[in-house]
Each structure stands twice: as C-alpha cells, then as structure tokens.
Structure 1
Amino acid sequence: MESLGRHLLVEYHGCNAEVLNDLVRIEALMRLAAQQARATIVASVFHPFTPQGVSGVVVVEESHLSIHTWPETGYAAVDFYTCGECMPERAYETLKEGLEAERSEVMVVHRGTYPPSPSLKVLTHYSEESTHNMSEDNTAVGGESSS
C-alpha cells in the first residue's frame, strides 16, 4: 500500500511545565522539529492561553505540524502530517527531547492510500517501548497493529 503522507498523532506526557507554557520556546521547538523532519517551513502561528498553555501550527510545504499544551498536567498533544520525503519521526524525537517528555505514544495513520482503501484506518500504534521502530515502518512493523 502506498500513501500520499503519514500522519503521526502524538501524546507527550510528563513534560516540563515551564517549557509547555513558553510560547517562544514552543514555537522554536516546533520550527526546529519541522527542519529536522526535512520539511520546508512556510509560516507559523502560535497563541498563548490564560492562565496557561500554548497552541500553534507550523505550516510546511509538505503539510503541517501542530501542538496544544497543558502545562498544568505536563501534557502536549501534537500532530505531524507530512507528505513526500519528510521524516516525521525526526520531528517526534526533537519534540520529545525539547519538551523533556517522560513518556509518549504515537499513532501512525497513512493518508491518501493507493490503491484506494480505508485511508483513516489506524495501521500502527506505538507505545514508548516501540517508538524506535517508527522510522522503519511503512505499515505496521514493530508496533501494535490495528485492523
């Protein structure tokens, strides 16, 4: 099965609350993550919330990276959707380190599959123990496969 792109839905837990509440730092981390993924940045927009938290998106020629943070719980929800030759697993690693996440989960969804099939079918779900296989995965290698 071929696809137009990979969409990584990421849960980062146990993150540094100060980092999660720092708009400038979050934007810099997201832009760095896009660069590490070999994506071409078009624009970025980030917004702070009161009393805390940040939401933002980095638009790249190959799609987007988005984040929403909850400093009060040490949690960040992140999407990496990339097409072409991008490497979203590098963006994942960059943010994991930058947010100082204690653990994470990743769900990989292949978008725009060919030949046509249920595009939004979850192909792979990685727990913290299996994320090292993500870069090798085009279907369900190394993760828990969902059918």
Structure 2
Amino acid sequence: MNQAGTHLIADLYGCRGLDDMALIEDTLRAAVRAIGATLIGLHLHPFGEGQGITGVAMLAESHMTIHSWPETGYAAIDIFVCGLGHDLDRGITLIADALRADRQVLTRIQRGA
C-alpha cells in the first residue's frame, strides 16, 4: 500500500484568543486555504464564556481540528490530508501565529505507510 497521507499533530502553548469564535473560524478557514485543501464543512462548538472551543473542518482530503483550553493557553491541532502536495507546516505556522503561540511541539505521522 502506498502512503495514505500525512497526519500532523500540534500542541500549541501560550496561546491567546482561544475562546474567540470569530478568530478560530477565520484561522481554520485561512489554514485550509494555506495548505491547498478543499473545505467541505466547518463546525465549531463553544463551551461557554471564557471556555474553550472545539472545531472541525471537514476537507475533501480529510480533516483539520482544534480543541482549545483558554484557561491554560493550550490548543491541540490535528491536520490529516490524503495524498501529496499539501504544505501542512504552512497551515500550522498560520494557526500558531494567529493564536500567538509561545511554543509548539509537532508530531508527524505518515499514515498507511
């Protein structure tokens, strides 16, 4: 079997704006464009005033997700895309910059390899 795709997992620390629905939505949409993916749908769920947001962008190529904890400044990001030719690092950089992350830890998995 050829590689099914790349899964990039990012732990972002020291983030700001993690309870801002408009910021999270705009950031996910921009990140999808940045990696050259096709957005099928986007759903965000806020957990209340000052609390986190969970969001999923369904892509023709797979998905992008965010789970945020504003109380600790932490965001968990997953980007999984099938096939080649997508710049996942560009997407993570865009998200980290938009959330003003102080630090990031990245894990890259080659799925189906």
- Is contact 1:64-1:82 (8 Å) kept? yes
The equivalent residue for 2:47 is: 49
Cα-Cα RMSD: 1.3
Q: State the distance in 2 between where 1:86 and 1:27 align.
A: 20
2:93 aligned with 1:80, yes or no?
Answer: no
One-letter amino acid matched to 2:66: I
The equivalent residue for 1:116 is: none
Q: How does 1:1-147 map to 2 (within 5 A)?
A: 2-16=2-16, 19-51=17-49, 52-84=51-83, 85-113=85-113
Q: Which runs of 5+ in 2 are unaligned?
A: none
Deviations 1:13-65 (A, max 9, x none): 0011xx10011210110111011000011100000002411000011111100
- Is contact 1:62-1:86 (8 Å) kept? no
- Alignment TM-score, normalising by the size of structure 2: 0.93
One-letter amino acid matched to 1:107: T
Deviations 1:77-136 (A, max 9, x none): 0101012222111111100100100000000011011xxxxxxxxxxxxxxxxxxxxxxx
Q: State the distance in 2 between where 1:32 and 1:91 align.
A: 8
| Higher Cα radius of gyration | 1
- Alignment TM-score, normalising by the size of structure 1: 0.72
Higher relative contact order (CA 8 A, sep 6+): 2
Q: State the distance in 1 between where 2:57 and 2:88 align.
A: 13
**Percent identical:** 39
Q: State the distance in 1 between where 2:104 and 2:30 align.
A: 19
Aligned residues: 111
